[in-house]
């Protein structure tokens, strides 16, 4: 276990999947955690089982994002770690992606990540530094046509992480992008009014390691990056995909 005692952490999209696994791991490692999400029922369930604090927020709404940061800062008394995890997915090519779905993907996956990071930057700087961990995707490194718009937004998250690392380095703020492959359970929110079958593991490709990742696998990397042991890691893009991105496997 990494030592996170005394760390004050905000996790976005922490009510299910990777986000929930991060909340559980960071609390177990001793951090004080506030997490956000759209579903009040799921949020209250996670809060009851982890002792973390739930702040309802719809990542599509910049005003709600700002309010959730203000509430988190007040609850935590500052911030040391931001885990930018909130995200939605749409199944389809660029040609098949409706404009409304595109706008929602941008709002949740990229704009909300930008607003959370920008709003947390100054409090981290005032507190002597901190770390930002952005949950991107292996599709942000090499696009997948069947989830084309999602791939584009996650590539943007990777670049956001890099420029934050550059701006943050002189003031003690680290920023890294974590790029998971397919993660079980594969349930992820979709844009309002649209359906997606991307949560069906039968359409996934098993990575060379022989198993799909679990949320806890990603959370363990997040916990390490949040800890002081990772103090010299910044500006990194870290795949966690069981060697799925190590090369091209021809059918």
CA distances from 76 to 10, 70, 142, 248 (A): 9, 10, 37, 45
The token pair at 212 is: 């799909």
Exposed/middle/buried for residue 36 (C-beta within 10 Å: 0-12, 13-18, 19+):
buried
For 202, other C-beta atoms within 10 Å of its C-beta total: 5
Query: Token pair for residue 19?
Result: 């986000």
Residue 133 CB contacts under 8 Å (≥ 6 apart), including other chains: 81, 82, 83, 84, 175, 176, 178, 222, 225, 226
Q: How far apart are CA 50 and CA 29, in angstroms?
A: 11
Task: Name the catalytic one among 150, 160, 176, 225.
Answer: 150
CB 222 within 8 A of CB 233: no
Angle at 183 between CA 182 and CA 187, to 5 degrees: 105
Residue 116 annotated as catalytic? no
Q: Phi/psi at 16 (nearest 5 deg)?
A: -160, 170
* φ, ψ for residue 56, nearest 5 deg: -60, 135
**Residues with a known catalytic role:** 150
């Amino acid at each position: 276990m990494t030592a996170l005692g005394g760390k004050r952490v905000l996790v976005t999209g922490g009510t299910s999947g990777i986000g929930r696994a991060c909340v559980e791991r960071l609390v177990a490692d001793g951090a004080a955690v506030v997490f956000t999400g759209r579903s009040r029922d799921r949020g209250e369930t996670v809060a009851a089982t982890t002792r973390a604090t739930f702040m309802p927020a719809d990542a599509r709404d910049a005003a709600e994002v700002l309010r959730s940061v203000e509430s988190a800062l007040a609850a935590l008394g500052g911030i040391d770690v931001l885990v930018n995890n909130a995200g939605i997915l749409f199944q389809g090519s660029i040609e098949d992606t409706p404009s409304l779905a595109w706008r929602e993907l941008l709002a949740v996956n990229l704009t909300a990540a930008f607003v959370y990071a920008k709003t947390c930057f100054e409090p981290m700087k005032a507190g002597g530094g901190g770390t930002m961990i952005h949950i991107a995707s292996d599709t942000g490194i090499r696009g997948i046509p069947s989830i084309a718009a999602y791939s584009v937004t996650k590539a943007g998250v990777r670049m956001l992480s890099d420029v934050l690392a550059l701006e943050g380095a002189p003031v003690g703020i680290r920023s890294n992008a974590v790029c998971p492959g397919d993660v079980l359970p594969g349930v992820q929110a979709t844009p309002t009014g649209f359906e997606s079958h991307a949560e069906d593991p039968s359409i996934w490709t098993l990575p060379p390691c022989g198993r799909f990742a679990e949320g806890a696998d990603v959370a363990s990397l997040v916990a390490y990056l949040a800890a002081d042991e990772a103090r010299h890691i910044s500006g990194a893009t870290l795949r966690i995909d069981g060697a799925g991105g190590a090369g091209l496997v021809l059918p």
